[in-house]
Chain A
Amino acid sequence: MKLSLTVNGQPRSAEVPPLKRLLDVLREDLALTGTKEGCGEGECGACSVLLDGELVNSCLVPACQAAQAEVATIEGLCNPDGQPGPLQRTFLECGAAQCGICTPGMIVAAHCFLKTDEPASEQRIREALAGNLCRCTGYQKIVDAVRLEARAAR
């Protein structure tokens, strides 16, 4: 199928089998390798992207269901010059990334949570990020970063 969609504000298209995973479309056809694969079963969240504003695991979204959709990936959260945006800078300051493989998905999820504007309690932050597994950080500095960013945004 010819898949036409908007990725990070840009119209993109690719010729792909309809069941090709959105994750693979992004990484292979669109050369956006910021989104990662950790498990292929929707458990780890390393593949998290926004699909029409909602957080999804792109390893579970077939191309046929991304037609005409607006997708946001980690690359889209950077500043126009490619440098880290505000949330990404806060992650850096807090030491919230170690090996970094979970980081793109984690930041996309955190960004999505912060967009909801709900009170950023420790519990709610942890619940929002519970679908993004991290093996390095123990989550502490990630939660700290999100809390800090929530406060800064208000």
Chain B
Amino acid sequence: MFRDAVASVGEVGRSPARRDGSEKVTGRALYLDDIQFPGQWWGRTVRSRVAHGVIKSVRLDPAFDWRGIVCVTARDIPGENVVHLIEDDQPCLADGRVRHCEEPIALLASNDRERLEEAVEHVRVEIEALEPVLDPLKSSRVFKELLIERNVEALPAVFASADRVIEGTYLVGHQEQMYIEPNAVCATPGEDGAMTLHGSMQCPFYVHRALQRLLRLDERKIAVIQTVTGGGFGGKEEYPSMIACHAALLARKAGHPVKMVYRRDEDVAATTKRHPAIVKHKTAVARDGALLGCEIEIVMDGGAYCTLSPVVASRGVLHAGGAYRWPACRIAGRVVATHTPPNGAFRGFGVPQTIFAMEAQMERIAAELGIDPLKLRQKNAYVLGDQTPTGQTLNWSVAAQEVLDAAAARSQFAEKSARFSAAKNGRRRRGIGLSLALHGAGFTGAGEVKLKSRAGVELTARGARVLSSSTDIGQGTITIFAQMAADALGVSMDDVEVAAPDSSRLPDSGPTVASRTCMVVGGTIEKAARQMGRVLSAYAAGCYGVPEGSVSCRGGVFFDGSRALAPFATIAERYLRDLGELRVIEQYAQPPGIEWDEQNYRGDAYVCFGWAATAVEVTVDLDTGEVQVDRVVQACDVGKAIHPILCAGQIEGGVVQALGYALLEELVLKDGRVVNSRMQNYVIPTSLDAPAIEAILIENPYPHGPQGAKGLGELPMDGPAPAVAAAIFNATGALVPQLPITPERLLSMLEARK
């Protein structure tokens, strides 16, 4: 499974059983709804059924018995009626105008859950409907516009003189995260207006700051505690702020804890999704397959409010040229408003959309030039020293060629590609397709610097406790933090705890997003642990009267050179007794030489990139358009596999989620309202839909990453969809330029070609 494995001693590089695994397999892990909060009430949301309109009135049906039921509207908000994020344009409760179906208008709470359900139907909301804008191409409200240009003056000549100019337009739709645990929170009111919020979430501090603004509370009066979270994928990055604000308002008015657990259909219909996009490519190519220049135009649908759209668009635009060298290019993107539920973060965050388009375009180019798709990519893929469209020189950790070679070899791409495209008999056709993707790790540009993420460790009687607000949402944060801190301190993982994320007690390590948790936060924790190690070594040296410089801790024992001095626990206990607590919190520091110009979108967009090549084999049924995925091979360069099984888990999970994006998952809206908001109608892959996934881990270390590690959470999601399209192209000769590639779309295209 490995290439170029960096030899490691200790916990990093092993695959110990996950730290929170025992609770999860025994059913003891407490997700939000498993917890009975003393005196808890339940809360529900009254939502708009209309995509755009003016609220005329909100009335409680006088024929209904409202005793024991509390109602909250915008008037009850003590602070600002806003769910704080980037633009602060999204109200917590609609007041005056509604801008999307399912927009929250009123909230109800009661301790009688059955009556509460009835009560929701008895809130009479009168809305004067206005014409909604549902087509992003017709929207005039732009959340963000971006432009990346490289040698743009040369472009007209490049197009004029190129051997071929190839155009393509690609469409991708919404995707719903479909975490198996729906959004769930409980707000508990405390003394003097204080509020404690427990919930399923990725970013406790986002919620904390949102509650501050909404409730007009000092930050010390709020505590946000993440409970065991049953999946996030970005869907619990910013959305929990909204549900938390709702629960808090109800708790404040009711004087009781209020628990809100979304029904599945509510979660699908009302919460954030992946941004749909329309991507246009115009590519100038040489006869031999060299990419000479491109114009790429991207329009993303942000939905009704800004949420994270500017950042999604930014990342989408920055990855739109794919993993290829462009001598000249112009990449323009904009994300606009429509009267649909706001879109937001979903694993990949703009990259799956634009990489689908780029990779599908590469297939089109390969076919038009008569060049093998693997060779076309090998010819143009980045190598060390190349420059990206923003002018970033790729100085380290580039593995585009390596992942391509690995995936192609393992999948027997060349042989199968030829064999499958030659086989023209029968009603079922096999195909194989390839894609190449990259994913910038960490926040874009100066984002990490602005975040000022802090994390660290504190000394315990037998080891250390990791202090960070990064959350484990299944990807294994708790486990890798313990591994990394243990190695940095020189102790066993068993002696390292990881504190549960609580915004009132832990440093703000930034959000658990953007494939940053291991690289940025883990790296910062390592730094803090090493510093703690130095402090303890100096202390131990003092205790034993030996020179500081020769003392270090290995395998849980302090050594003076090669002479064992004392176990870690002995030194720790003594330190705590003599000097009190020892806490080391470090702040993330950007490596030297990283420069980003936010105004002109030029420079080093990301400190490093992850690389993935995906090979997908399919069988296409020509009678129905159904596509079965038979096998997936994905090779990912992760820099350093801190925990190989967890890494493989990210690859396998990301691949299957992307197969859903490619083939199955389509959100159907009618007049701005989601029509298929149940699991029965919005379908994700089952174990029978998913094939065996072969993950190949490649380690091309990032010199400033912890033990060389980069990011992996999102990378696996970027490549499979276009590889599926390429495989279907290989099987049938039809390149479907739209996701999902439903049987209907494929059959339609096949019929049209006859």
A residues at B contact (CB < 8 Å): 27, 32-41, 43-44, 46, 73-75, 78, 82-84, 88-89, 91-95, 97-104, 107, 122, 125-127, 129-143
By the criterion CB–CB under 8 Å, are A74 and B264 in contact? Answer: no
List A contacts of B27 (CB < 8 A): 32-35, 73-75, 78, 103-104
Contact A39 B231 (CB under 8 A): no
Q: Is the CB of B690 within 8 A of A139?
A: yes
What are 19 A-to-B residue pairs whose CB atoms are below 8 Å?
A37-B33, A44-B180, A74-B27, A75-B27, A91-B21, A92-B21, A95-B18, A95-B649, A101-B230, A103-B24, A103-B27, A126-B687, A127-B688, A129-B687, A134-B687, A137-B656, A138-B651, A138-B653, A139-B656
Verify if B562 is at the interface (C-beta below 8 Å from A): no
- B206, CB-defined interface residue at 8 Å: no
Question: Which residues from B are CB-within-8-Å of A36?
Answer: 31, 180-181, 230
Q: A35-B27, A93-B17, A101-B231 are in contact. Are A122 and B692 (CB under 8 A)?
A: yes
Given contacts A40-B264, A97-B18, contact A140 B652 (CB under 8 A): yes
Q: How far is the CA of A91 from the CA of B649 in the complex (A)?
A: 13
B463 within 8 A of A: no
- Cα of A97 to Cα of B25 in the assembled complex, Å: 7
B264 is contacted by which of A41, A84, A103, A132 (Cβ under 8 Å)?
Answer: A41
CB of B469 to closest CB in A, whole Å? 18
Cα separation A136 to B30 with both chains bound (whole Å)? 18
Q: Given the known A-B contacts A38-B264, A40-B263, A133-B684, are A140 and B25 also in contact in the complex, defined by CB atoms under 8 Å?
A: no
Nearest CB on B from A111, distance (A) = 11
Expressed in whole angstroms, the minimum distance between the Cβ of B390 and any Cβ of chain A is 33
Within 8 Å CB of B24, what residues of A?
97, 100, 103
- Residues on B lying within 8 angstroms of A by beta carbon are 15, 17-18, 20-31, 33-34, 177-182, 228-233, 263-264, 473-476, 645-646, 648-649, 651-657, 678-680, 684, 686-688, 690, 692-693
**Whole-angstrom distance between the alpha carbons of A40 and B182 in the complex?**
11
In order of increasing CB-CB distance, the 10 nearest A-B pairs are: A34-B27, A101-B230, A99-B474, A100-B24, A98-B474, A138-B656, A138-B652, A74-B27, A43-B679, A33-B34
Given known A-B contacts A46-B180, A92-B22, A99-B181, A136 and B474 have beta carbons under 8 A apart: yes
What are the residues of chain A within 8 A of B648 when measuring CB–CB?
95, 140-141
| B646 cross-chain contacts in A, Cβ below 8 A | 95
CA distance A126 to B26 in the complex (A): 22
Would B678 and A41 count as touching, CB distance under 8 A?
yes
The residues of A that contact B233 with a CB separation of less than 8 Å are 135
CA distance A101 to B474 in the complex (A): 9
B653:A103 contact, CB within 8 angstroms: no
Please determine whether B684 and A97 come into contact, CB atoms closer than 8 angstroms. no
Question: In the bound complex, do residue A133 and residue B690 qualify as a contact, i.e. CB atoms below 8 Å apart?
Answer: no
The answer to whether B30 and A33 have CB atoms under 8 Å apart is yes
In the complex, which of the residues A35, A36, A75, A93 has the most CB atoms of chain B within 10 Å of its own CB atom? A36
A132→B684 CA distance, assembly (Å):
11
Chain A, interface SS category: loop
Task: Output the nearest chain B residue to A87 by Cβ-Cβ distance.
Answer: B25
Which partner residue on chain B sits nearest A46 by CB separation?
B180
Q: How far is the CB of B240 from chain A (nearest CB, A)?
A: 15
Residues of chain B within 8 A (CB-CB) of A74 are 26-27
Quote the shortest CB–CB distance from B315 to chain A (angstroms). 22
- A82: B residues at CB distance < 8 A: 26, 28
Chain B residue with minimal CB distance to A33? B34
Complex Cα distance A92/B18, Å? 7
Select which of A44, A88, A129 is within 8 A of B26 by beta carbon. Answer: A88
Chain B residues positioned under 8 Å from A142 (CB to CB):
687
User: Nearest Cβ in chain B — how far from A113, in angstroms?
Assistant: 11
Question: Smallest Cβ distance from B158 to chain A, in angstroms?
Answer: 41
Name the B residues within 8 Å of A104 (CB-CB). Answer: 27
Determine the chain A residues whose CB is within 8 A of the CB of B473 once the complex forms.
99
The one of A101, A127, A130 that contacts B180, using a Cβ cutoff of 8 Å: A101
Q: A137 CA to B228 CA in the complex, in Å?
A: 17
Is A100 within 8 A of B230, CB to CB? yes
Contact A133 to B181, CB < 8 A, known contacts A36-B31, A39-B678, A141-B652: no
Chain A, residue nearest B682 (CB): A43
Q: Find chain A residues with CB under 8 A from B657 CB.
A: 135, 138
Known contacts A34-B27, A37-B33, A126-B688; A135 and B649 CB within 8 A of each other: no
Complex Cα gap A44–B233 (Å): 18
Q: Which of A130, A133, A138 contacts B655 (CB 8 A)?
A: A138
Q: Which of A43, A84, A125 contacts B22 (CB 8 A)?
A: A84
Specify which chain A residues have a CB less than 8 angstroms from the CB of B31 in the assembled complex: 36, 101
Given contacts A101-B231, A140-B692, is CB(A92)–CB(B25) below 8 Å?
A: yes
Taking CB atoms, residues of chain A closer than 8 Å to B181 are: 36, 38, 99, 101
Distance from A143 Cβ to chain B, minimum over Cβ atoms (Å):
7
CB–CB B230/A99 < 8 A: yes
Q: Select which of B178, B231, B652, B684 is within 8 A of A99 by beta carbon.
A: B231
Q: Given the complex, which residues of B lie within 8 Å of A141, measured CB to CB?
A: 645, 648-649, 652
User: Is B684's CB under 8 angstroms from A135's CB?
Assistant: yes
Docked CA distance A34–B33 (Å): 11
Given A99-B230, A103-B25, A133-B180, 8 additional A-B pairs, CB 8 A: A32-B27, A98-B475, A100-B29, A101-B230, A131-B686, A135-B177, A138-B657, A140-B693
A-side contacts of B264, CB under 8 Å: 38-41
Most A CB contacts (10 A, CB to CB) among B21, B29, B655 go to B21
Q: Measured between alpha carbons, how far is A85 from B24 in the docked complex, in Å?
A: 13
